Structure 1
Amino acid sequence: MFTIAIKSIGFAWRTNRKLLIILILINIFSGAVVYLQFTSFASIVDEIIKIKQGTGKTGDLVRSSVLLGLSFLVPLFVGNLGGHYRMIFRMQQTLNLDLYKIDRQGKLDIGTIESSSYQNLLRSAQEWGTGSVLGLQDFFFNSSHNFASIITSITILWSLNYWLVVFAVLAAAPVYFFYNKYSMEVFRIRRFSINDQRLIRNRISHFEELQKAVDVILLKLQGWLKAQVKERKEDFNNKIIRAERKKAISYSIMSLWYLLFLFAAIALMTREALSGGIAVGGLLLAFSTYTRFYQTVNGYIESISVAEEASRYAARWFDLFDITPRIVSKENGVVIDIKQPPLIEFDRVSFRYPAEEGETPWVLRDLSFTIKPGEKIAIVGVNGSGKTTLIKLLCRIYDPTEGNILINGINLKDIKLDNWQSALGILFQDFPVYNLTIRESISVGRIEDNGVSQYDKDAQLRQAARYSGADDFIKDYDQLIWKDFAGGIDLSKGQHQRLAVARMFYRNAAVTILDEPTASIDAVTEERIFTTLEKNMEGKTVILISHRFSTVKNADKIILMEHGRITEMGSHKELIQLDKQYAALYNMQAKRYLEETEDA
């Protein structure tokens, strides 16, 4: 816990060391000043007794009263100041943690993000979110407050009678073990119930997310989903209740132990007061300090238990921060001309996905082919044939397990990663939906575009919308997308896909990769898009993955894949004349299309 807490404080130190020191000093002052109230009040009691006995002075009573008033007034102002600074500090920390997380995660490669180990780590960290890191910083501040309070109280008790310190320490000794045992038990319950909690959240999401809610209503799933939530939630609650019951029993035992030493301390204080060892005010001071000591230790140890739990989740965040990408750019990597389509060569490339343990099956085996600059390539095949994986290797989301990919004769691993990615325009079939304005949703395709006037940008953006067919439904380029926004609109899946295609046209990359770009688009718009591709991507390399064989007829080269291997390669005409699998699949789809047309 303390290792993680130190990491958390180190992060805070880098954020605002001046404010951190101020907060520590304020907490130390707050922890010690409460005992000034006890001693001041004890002095007032003693002075009153002395005055009644004729030995006291009114001036001493006034000074003690003023000191007592200041002991309440000053902490009030300091506490308000500390609360203000704490709020500012938390806001700065929250911002910096979010920015740091974005910075670290933004540098990871997609292969690392896709891995099960990363996803499990991320889900575990998200249980408490960045609040776990901030909670450890609060624990550090509270520790300075509590340490100041504990040291001050021990000093006072020792000055009165050292046995009071012994009794106080023995009374507080079991507290840590009880809290720690309970905290660990709760953590285990939450940890081993993480899959059930994930399922509960998933089932509840069916009533909150529009697409899922439609099925819930139409398929009458409410009762079935409700039963699953009830069963798992009740099981989780029962485990927590049993842990709480153990906690209550433990606290009862701990209370009896505390009372035993409290009575011993009271007896000692009474004896000292009767023998004249301490004055009446000293008796009040001893009792107040003794009880305050236990409360402080009890609260501090409880905060340790909470901090230990927070540290387990905060550790996941720091583990996330420490993850390094699997795919990295070489130092002094080669820089290529990203404006000119390159020569791309696959040289006996084989690939299997990385596994946490053991080996996964081969996804691609012994692929060798060439894509000439400006060539239009289509990759076809049934689901699971390895088409998308091939594209991931070309984008260097993963590196080949065997073989090499060459760009202008240079191994892709030797090319500067940012440089190569800037040469690509990629649209995967699972494209993201940006809840932005329509203008922003298209323009993210080339967000780093510098040196271009806003007028030219706007003209290129509208051209991209025309090419993709998105201009058919765009009424206002500054219209917000998604109904969650005030004044926002909803779009169909096909309209979202047209915006995604527009992004690729706007990017105007040297190599454009389209993975099922028209899966949700009607036939008329699809024909318009592919006609535009042929006419307006002249001189650019285009790689198209599609299940619809009718969309790939005009490609310069068609690659048919099956079970991770290339089984046929050539132009549409050549493959039809070959009269093998490609011809059979093409004719089957053409026949089905004709039958559907006749039925219509």
Structure 2
Amino acid sequence: MIASVTLSIVNGCFPFLTLWISKELIDEVTRFIQSDTWEYVALVWLLIGQFSITVLSSLSKNIKEYLDKQMVYKVEFDVQHMILANTSSVPVMYFDLAEYHNHLQRISGGGSRFLSPVRTMIDMFEAALSLCSYAAFLIVIHWSLLLVSLLATIPIFLVQAKYSQLRYRLHVKQNPVAREAEYYKYLLQDRTSAKEIRLFGLASFFLNRWIEKFVQNASETLRLERRQQGAEVGMEAVSSFFYMGMAVALIWLARTTKMSIGDFIAIIQAIQGTQGTLNRISTLLAKLYEEKLYIKDFYQFFEIKEPRIEINKGQEPFPTPIQRGITFENVSFRYIHGDRDVLSNVSFHINPQEKIAIIGQNGSGKTTLIKCLMGLYPPLHGQIKIDGKNIYDIDQKQLLSNITVIFQDFIRYHLTVRENIAVGDIKRMDDWERIQAVAKVSGTDSFIQQFALGYETPLGRLLVDGEDLSGGQWQKIALARALFRDSQVVILDEPTASLDPIAEMEIFQNFKLLADKKIAIFISHRMAASRMADRIIVMKEGKIVEMGTHEELMELRQEYYHMYTMQAQWFSAESEYTKEVVGWRN
């Protein structure tokens, strides 16, 4: 920063030196041509001086440009680090807000824009020094020349400031449309969506959607640009009028005062330089105003607060071991812009080491219930307690480290097999014995052994040409990752949705070894899995409608009974293998 400012000061002095040497050089050339002598020493020194200034000016500007780029990378790193730190730490519910995503897109990649005001101020400082050089030269000739130059700049600044604000407002307005266009572009470029887009012939559909949104934003931007260019043409005409007036004044001064050719040319250059520098300062001021709006928007992103989104600031330790269990007390939840409760007055208790199955149709609130237990979604009403402690009084890191969840929409990390499993507990990344143990339990080890690089095999083809797994194999990897995390509460949200019944039963049979002496919660739409639980909770439209063992609920002949009998054809021929799996209940 100091080096850039110093170089700006040096660059700001060059116009005055250039003007002075140009004037002296022209006068010396005139004298040399008109003189009978061959005294050319002064002329040579002036030429050397002009050459030196040209080289030094170029060197100074290039060094400054390099330092500026160096500064851009540093600020870009700091800005992106701030954004990523924020997005990785804010409550998960923020990602359910469209405005959060709009705001995030507006500020992403804004490192150069964030640095722009600093660079603009340095450029303005340099321009101001240049202006002082020109102004000092003009005032010596006549003060009116400087005054007219200043007056000619005012309209240009006003126009540029006005359109800077209009551009910012348009940017904010267009942001949701631009994000929608990016989504269609993503679908057309993403490897995962490529198969289905071709299967259903959706390429033209999404391409037309992208064209519509892109053209909409481009048309609005060009319309504003057209208006701005028209206004600037008018302002340039006004500026030219002022310049014509100065030319007349200069001709009058040349006629009424003693002025050399060098003086006349230097004054012309000074007037042009003054106008150019003033226009540059005007543009920089308007740019500074526009960038200030973007920086204000940047900082406002970090000040986003949604009153309904509770941030866990608890400091109490997680109960180890859990002695009294988990309690839901009249828990209700509604999305911020939702018009109905996703959970409504949910109350139940889970005993230590108990195995619970949560059953219900899609949209009944099962996964939302789990997210509330993890502290990712704050209840609208009610409390969730572990051994009598409200989860929002427990340290968040300890809470999450003691709850293991494998969601149905798990992430497929494009890392090695070992890393894919070990990210379940990064502190134990090199625990080979446990990595292999959970891989065997999850059924992952069997296909890993077929890879030439074994556990160091990269998965996916996004970053490198790695192994492309099937959906079921990816799910086994995700299950191994969840099992790798040694926690007191284990939650499986449709963990075997991509597996065949035999593979599903194999996983559940082996899983009981790691779920021993822990609280286990299963969320599944397959009724057969529910028979492995100590108790079954049946949910419907965000409420608990039934609770009990399989036998008790079958006797009621209500919601669970109807769901079970509808799927009876899938497992009516109950094998000894299934009976063995059921035997792991406490």
Answer whether contact 2:442 2:507 (CA < 8 A) is retained: yes
Alpha-carbon distance in 2 for matches of 1:329, 1:232: 39
Does residue 102 of structure 1 match 2:84? yes
Answer whether contact 1:108 1:324 (CA < 8 A) is retained: no
- Give the counterpart of 1:31 among 12, 37, 59: 12
Gaps of 5+ in 2: 576-586
AA aligned to 2:157 is: Y
SS at match of 1:491: coil
For each residue in 1:146-205, what CA deviation from the matched residue of structure 2 results, as whole angstroms up to 9, or x when unmatched? 222233322322232111111111221211222234444444444433343333333333
Alpha-carbon distance in 1 for matches of 2:464, 2:526: 39
Q: Which residue of 1 aligns with 2:432?
A: 458
SS at match of 2:274: helix
Q: 1:41 Cα deviation (Å)?
A: 1.0
Does residue 262 of structure 1 match 2:240? no
Q: Which residue of 2 aligns with 1:423?
A: 402
Q: Give runs of aligned pairs for residues 288-437 of structure 1, distance below 5 A.
A: 288-323=269-304, 326-330=309-313, 333-337=315-319, 340-341=321-322, 343-353=324-334, 355=336, 360-437=339-416
- Greater CA deviation, 290-299 or 302-311? 302-311
Alpha-carbon distance in 2 for matches of 1:27, 1:375: 72
Q: 1:139 to 1:491 in 2, by over 3 A?
A: farther
Alpha-carbon distance in 1 for matches of 2:505, 2:467: 27
Q: Which residue of 1 aligns with 2:227?
A: 246
- Greater CA deviation, 429-438 or 294-303? 294-303
Q: 1:174 to 1:423 in 2, by over 3 A?
A: same
Q: 1:342 to 1:290 in 2, by over 3 A?
A: farther
Q: Which residue of 1 aligns with 2:544?
A: 566
SS at match of 2:129: helix
For each residue in 1:288-317, what CA deviation from the matched residue of structure 2 results, as whole angstroms up to 9, or x when unmatched? 122122222323433444454444444333
- Greater CA deviation, 237-246 or 26-35? 237-246
Does residue 160 of structure 1 match 2:141? yes
Q: 1:550 Cα deviation (Å)?
A: 0.8
- Greater CA deviation, 128-137 or 279-288? 128-137
Q: 1:39 Cα deviation (Å)?
A: 1.7
SS at match of 2:188: coil
Q: 1:367 to 1:465 in 2, by over 3 A?
A: same
- Greater CA deviation, 117-126 or 505-514? 117-126
Alpha-carbon distance in 1 for matches of 2:152, 2:533: 83
Q: 1:401 to 1:201 in 2, by over 3 A?
A: closer
- Greater CA deviation, 144-153 or 156-165? 144-153
Answer whether contact 1:40 1:64 (CA < 8 A) is retained: yes
- Greater CA deviation, 43-52 or 85-94? 43-52
Does residue 69 of structure 1 match 2:47? no
Alpha-carbon distance in 2 for matches of 1:566, 1:229: 43
Q: 1:265 to 1:136 in 2, by over 3 A?
A: same
Q: 1:565 to 1:239 in 2, by over 3 A?
A: closer
Q: 1:61 Cα deviation (Å)?
A: 4.3
For each residue in 1:194-244, what CA deviation from the matched residue of structure 2 results, as whole angstroms up to 9, or x when unmatched? 343333333333331233332333333344334334444444443334333
AA aligned to 2:160 is: Y
AA aligned to 2:78 is: N
AA aligned to 1:266 is: A
Q: Give runs of aligned pairs for residues 438-457 of structure 1, distance below 5 A.
A: 438-449=417-428, 454=430, 457=431
Q: 1:201 to 1:120 in 2, by over 3 A?
A: closer
Alpha-carbon distance in 1 for matches of 2:412, 2:187: 20
What is the count of residue pairs matched by the alignment?
568
AA aligned to 1:402 is: H
Answer whether contact 2:528 2:571 (CA < 8 A) is retained: no
Q: 1:224 to 1:100 in 2, by over 3 A?
A: closer
Alpha-carbon distance in 2 for matches of 1:232, 1:173: 38
Does residue 124 of structure 1 match 2:106? yes
Instruction: State, as a whole percentage, how many aligned pairs show the same letter.
Output: 26
Q: 1:196 to 1:88 in 2, by over 3 A?
A: closer
Q: 1:446 Cα deviation (Å)?
A: 0.2
